[in-house]
Amino acid sequence: MLGKRIKQIRNSKKLTQDEFADILGLTKNFISLIETGNRTPSDRTISDICREFNISEVWLRTGEGEMLTPISRDAEIAAFLGDVMRGEKEDFRRRLVSVLARLEPAEWELLANMAQRLAEEYKKED
């Protein structure tokens, strides 16, 4: 049932009906009606859900295949940066990206070496 799959998406993202509705530009009441099977979402709503939550449209409509659409590393980075840029100016993520954008090549190398050492420390603990 389509409504059950939409509820599954919402729950997997740990969103309330209000939060889910806000993201999609809908009302909580409409989301509730969809989830209970009392309303059928429009093609546009289905498309919006798939786009916003990286959901396979085939899975959403039929239940077949994987729920999530595979995403490339570049697309994942672009989505993250878009999300950061839509956030508040004083957001930690935005300040961090700003600092990273100004790193010199030698600083990137140092950062890569530190990450490598950290990964090695984690391997020792396992």
46 and 19 together in one domain = yes
Tell me how many domains the chain contains.
Answer: 2
Q: What is the pLDDT of residues 35-89, one digit of tens each?
A: 999 999 999 999 999 999 999 999 999 999 999 998 889 988 998 898 889 888 8
Domain end point (choices 11, 32, 62): 62
Is residue 57 domain-resident? yes
The pLDDT of residue 89: 83
- Distances from the Cα of 67 to the Cαs of 61, 71, 86, 103, 117, in angstroms? 10, 12, 26, 38, 36
Range of the domain at 35: 2-62
pLDDT score recorded for residue 12: 95
**Is 8 exposed, middle or buried (CB count within 10 Å of its CB: 0-12, 13-18, 19+)?**
middle
Tell me if 109 is assigned to some domain. Answer: yes
Phi and psi at residue 52, in whole multiples of 5°? -65, -35
Residues 87 and 58 in one domain: no
Rounded to the nearest integer, the mean pLDDT of the chain is 94
